[in-house]
Amino acid sequence: MQALTDTYLETRASENLDIGAILKDQRLGRFALLSSFGAESVVMIHLVTSLARETPILFLDTGQHFPETLAYVEHLKSSLGPNLHIIKPNPDLTLSEDPEKTLKKSNPNQCCMLRKSLPLGDALQGYDTWFTGRKCFHGGLRSFMPMIERDRQHLKINPLARWSKRRVEAYFYEHDLPQHPLERFGYASIGCEPCTVPIETGQDLREGRWADMPSKLECGIHLGPDATLIREA
């Protein structure tokens, strides 16, 4: 995979990554796109499906999403026709570890592990490479992420990492893409309902995620390639 990284990795200042070429590269092996179906997600979904129609689109249905997000999934499923794969947490494990559905407050990292990291880890077993729609302008831990990185045994590619907010907005306009219905209410980064709030003017885009937990910046599925999450007993 190192040769693939050398071929496509750009300088930090560049916004260019030839997605069309990379999707055709046999060295990717079997690949999929992970999408949250949140704000801006449709850009990556549209981009990938227009270039490689049968690309599997993985959606982590945590059981905690806004009804608006689930309606948005159905709308994009009808309008864009993605090859959608809905990934859900193990119901027996969820019931045993979070019977009262209070884990999101008592141990949010464990809640994310249970509902996102573990199901995603299982879902990615059949793939060699996965794509994300993450962008550096979202700030926080994403500010300096590379466009191509190692994620344990997988290759992870972030084609939009260097895109600016203006470029994302231009893509929406150019292709007349529908926005997530919660964006008009001030939601800028949309995850699970219990852990997502609207942001105020001047706040960073991801400050609405885990707003009452200043130390929590990510759910855990996008930690660095050498990071590990140890599941608590």
Q: What is the C-alpha to C-alpha distance for residues 163 and 15, in angstroms, rounded to an integer?
A: 6
Q: Is 51 exposed, middle or buried (0-12, 13-18, 19+ CB in 10 A)?
A: middle
Structural contact between residues 149 and 225, judged by C-beta atoms closer than 8 angstroms: yes
Q: What type of residue sits at position 96?
A: S
Tell me the angle at which helices 67-80 and 41-51 cross, rounded to the nearest 10 degrees: 20
The pair of three-digit structure tokens given for residue 149, joined into one six-digit string: 């990185």
The pair of three-digit structure tokens given for residue 56, joined into one six-digit string: 């599997």
Catalytic entry in 112, 136, 195, 219:
219
Catalytic residue status for 219: yes
Structural contact between residues 48 and 33, judged by C-beta atoms closer than 8 angstroms: yes
Q: Output the CA–CA distances (angstroms, integers) from residue 97 to 61, 65, 111, 119, in the order listed.
A: 18, 19, 9, 15
Catalytic residues: 219
